[in-house]
Structures are given as C-alpha cells and as structure tokens.
Amino acid sequence: MDLFITDLIFRLFLNLITLVIISWGFYFSSTKRKEYVFTFVIIGVTVFVLCYMLSNINLELGIALGLFAVFGILRYRTHTVQIREMTYLILSITISLINSMIVMGYDALNLLAVNGAVVIIAGAVELVWFRIMPGTITIRYENIDLIRPERREELKADLEKRIGIEVMDFQIGSINFLRDTARIEILYDTRKYPGYISDYQE
C-alpha cells in the first residue's frame, strides 16, 4: 500500500479514537448530551483531513493564517455555546491539528505519546478532579418555620421532597416576614441532574 495512504489511515484512526474517548468517554459520561459529541467528533475529523491534505501543499504564510482565521471566527448563532463545551471543541481541534502535522516529522511513537497524554490529562480533570460538579438553584421558600438552625435537617428533607433532587447543601438568604417567605440557595450535583437549574431558578 502507498506510504501516504498508510500514514493517512493510521493518523486518521488514531485521531478518531482520541476524539471518541474525549467526547463520548469523558464529556458524554458526565453531561449526557449527545448533540455536542457529534460536533466534537465531526469538527475534529474535518480539521484533521483538511490540514493533513494541505500539509502536502506549499502555502504562503498569509493564506495559511487566513485559513485558521476562518476557524477562529466561526460561531454557533442558533445556540450559545457554554465555556465547558467550547473547551472540548478547542481540545478536539487542537488534537486534530497535531495529528495532521506530517511536515513536523512526528512519527508514530510521538503521536501515540501526545494523544495518550491528552487523554490521561482530560480524563483526570473530568473524571477525578471534577467528579462532583456543584450547581445552584435559588428558590423562594414559604415555610419559614423550618428555617431555624435546629430544624436544618427537616428543612433539607423538605427541599429534597419539593424539588425532587438530592441537596448537597443550602444557604438561607433574605427573609421576608411580611410575606412569610425566605430566599434559599440550594447546592446540588450537576452530574446527577444535568440541565436542571432552569426549572427551579428564581
């Protein structure tokens, strides 16, 4: 088989495996959002193929910079991309760029080492350091008889019963005795309840 084709298949397969591990193994396992998994993988593969093919062509510096400027100004206008998803997108593009750099003289061992390091670091950050990712819900609570310190456990149990999620912690804010209400900020694990905050936020 032609050396170019062999090298392309190896690099493309390695890049795809790395993208799947990062997007599906790490991102999806913690967020359960499939739509971004598709985005990370397809954009990563697209960037890899484009840059790999162009690396065999002598491009002027201005054209090359212009090409990457196009990627730099791309944005999703139908939906605001959060910083977490944007970080994964940048990671997918970066690893695809590295895997496509045949002009830099990277051999198979170098590529395996780089991809392995990226996977290990991303996995450590996602699955170990941020095993629990707290989020907050702010509600207006009307049963102020339970806001006394000695009834804290009763209040926690009542909050869990009302909103249907496990409460990690909570903090009582302002209290309105005229309306018999209190403002309570609830801390919960976003990994267990992804996308839950918008339903109960005050």
pTM for this model (two decimals): 0.60
Q: What is the pLDDT of residue 202?
A: 45
Identify which has the larger pLDDT, 161 or 133. Answer: 161
| Least confident span in 21-25, 60-64, 145-149, 173-177 | 60-64
Report the pLDDT value the prediction gives residue 100, as an integer from 0 to 100.
81
- Out of 15-19, 52-56, 101-105, 107-111, least confident range: 101-105
For the stretch 6-39, pLDDT in tens is 888 888 899 999 999 999 888 887 777 777 888 8
87, 84, 110, 95: which is closest to 21 by C-alpha?
95
Look-up of token digits 């090359």: 64
* Residue 54: pLDDT over 80: no
Q: Are 154 and 133 in contact (CB under 8 A)?
A: no
Assign 3-class secondary structure to the chain: CCHHHHHHHHHHHHHHHHHHHHHHHHHHHHHCCHHHHHHHHHHHHHHHHHHHHHCCCCCCHHHHHHHHHHHHHCCCCCCCCCHHHHHHHHHHHHHHHHHHCHHHCCCHHHHHHHHHHHHHHHHHHHHHHCCCCEEEEEEEECCHHHCCHHHHHHHHHHHHHHHCCCCCEEEEEEEECCCCEEEEEEEEECCCCCCCHHHHCC
Taking the C-alpha atoms of residue 91 and residue 122, their distance in angstroms, rounded to an integer, is 9
Residue 57 has pLDDT above 70, yes or no: no
- Three-state SS annotation for 153-167: HHHHHHHHHHHCCCC
Q: Work out the average pLDDT over 132-156.
A: 83
**Does residue 107 carry a pLDDT above 90?**
no
What are 171's strand-pairing partners? 185
Q: Is the pLDDT of residue 187 over 60?
A: yes
Which residues make Cβ contacts (< 8 Å) with residue 31, sequence separation at least 6? Answer: 84, 191, 194
Q: Is the pLDDT of residue 170 over 60?
A: yes
Say which amino acid occupies 173.
Answer: G
